[in-house]
Chain A
Amino acid sequence: MDQQTGGSADDDRARKLRQKRIGDQLRRLYDEVTEEAVPEEFLNLLEQADNSKNKQ
């Protein structure tokens, strides 16, 4: 186990908690994007990539 001073371990924990809260909020802000349908164009490009892979 790492021996840390109480202060810096506490600071670290506090920092992690603040990061987590901001992360949760960010996800709420941006999550709607993941509900949208992916543009058809992107899937077509992946299909093209598959085709060129099979030719190689």
Chain B
Amino acid sequence: MSLVEQFGPHLPFLRRYARALTGSQESGDSYIRASLTALAEDPSQVSDELPARQALYRFFHVIWGSTGARLERPGGAMTPETRLQALAPIERQAFLLTALEGFQVSEAATILGKTVQQVEELIAKAHTDIEDTLSTKVLIIEDEPVIAADLESLVEELGHEVTGNATTHTEAVAMARANPPGLILCDIQLADNSSGIEAAHEILEELDVPIIFITAFPERLLTGERPEPTYLIPKPFQENTVKAAIGQALFFHPSSESVAAE
């Protein structure tokens, strides 16, 4: 089987990986070009014992690892792209090969020339680093004390700081103004019959902040005018679902700190 037939079908995915890894398509493509040029000069360098996709990624890894792997300290707004670039290169690779490219840990280990245990540690480290960069201040808008306490403890478990627990629209707006949060967890029906959605709208007029609605009445959010950016979690909630939504909301939202610095 020719190399065109073996590797050609995997190139679109290698381009996706290279883009995420290097932070831009242009840069990603230039490393693929360098890899393929090296391959054209000496095709015996590539393993013919591995499945084609792994062999291709492994070859790319060797070229990128020796020339391109850098620890970036990006300035400006933190986007998902810049957050990835802030990871140590080998962690970034282990994380992207498994999370983005869907390789098994054992396959990622082969590609990176590491043991399974090393790759597992790298993935865990990447994840801790991502969560560290996402550490932020959280405002909880919730009028039921037990639920507010649950949310508070899970937010703190993730390493975030809770700035306060508002129980009404007015209180929520005042607290957000006094100590601007990087994330808001918001109930929809509040203590004095005021609306969490309206509170959220008012806060969003002044602050670019991701909001996660946690509600027993998700249909109210779906039918009404829905503030962006929002995430929606139905009550009763699973702790893990809330934790995952928090990670997601922060990873994909430009950090308010850098936005303010611009």
Partners in one complex: yes
Binding site for B on A (CB under 8 A): 13-15, 17-23, 25-27, 29-31, 33-36, 38-39, 41-43, 45-50, 52-53, 56
Enumerate chain A residues within 8 angstroms of B124, measured Cβ to Cβ: 15
Chain B at the A interface: SS class: helix
Chain B: residues with Cβ within 8 Å of the partner, total of: 43
A15 contacts B127, C-beta separation under 8 Å: yes
Q: Identify B2's interface contact among A15, A21, A26, A50, CB under 8 A.
A: A50
Assess whether B193 is interfacial by the CB under 8 Å rule: no
Chain B 223-260 against A: per-residue CB contact (8 Å), 1 yes, 0 no? 00000000000000001110111011001100000000
B100 contacts A23, C-beta separation under 8 Å: yes
A19 contacts B43, C-beta separation under 8 Å: no
Enumerate chain A residues within 8 angstroms of B41, measured Cβ to Cβ: 52
Assess whether B37 is interfacial by the CB under 8 Å rule: yes
B20 contacts A53, C-beta separation under 8 Å: no
B4 contacts A47, C-beta separation under 8 Å: yes
A-B contacts, 22 of them at CB < 8 A, read A14-B239, A14-B240, A17-B240, A17-B243, A18-B244, A18-B247, A20-B244, A21-B244, A21-B247, A22-B247, A25-B80, A25-B248, A26-B20, A29-B252, A33-B16, A38-B8, A39-B29, A45-B33, A46-B4, A49-B43, A50-B3, A53-B43
Residue of B nearest to A31 (CB): B16
Enumerate chain B residues within 8 angstroms of A18, measured Cβ to Cβ: 127, 240, 243-244, 247-248
CA distance A47 to B42 in the complex (A): 13
Residue of A nearest to B56 (CB): A46
Residues facing A in B44-71 (CB within 8 A) are 44
CA distance A33 to B21 in the complex (A): 13
Q: Given that A33-B19, A52-B40 are known contacts, is A42 also in contact with B33, CB under 8 Å in the complex? A: yes
Binding site for A on B (CB under 8 A): 2-4, 7-8, 11-13, 15-16, 19-20, 25, 29, 32-33, 36-37, 39-44, 80, 96, 98-100, 123-124, 127, 130, 239-241, 243-245, 247-248, 251-252
CA distance A48 to B241 in the complex (A): 50
Whole-angstrom distance between the Cβ of A4 and the nearest chain B Cβ: 15
Q: Given that A45-B37, A56-B44 are known contacts, is A21 also in contact with B12, CB under 8 Å in the complex? A: no
CA distance A19 to B247 in the complex (A): 9
Q: Given that A21-B244, A26-B100 are known contacts, is A52 also in contact with B43, CB under 8 Å in the complex? A: yes
Contacts A18-B248, A23-B100, A50-B43 aside, 16 further interface pairs with beta carbons under 8 A come to A14-B244, A19-B99, A19-B127, A20-B244, A21-B244, A22-B130, A22-B248, A26-B20, A29-B252, A31-B16, A33-B15, A33-B19, A45-B36, A46-B4, A49-B36, A49-B40
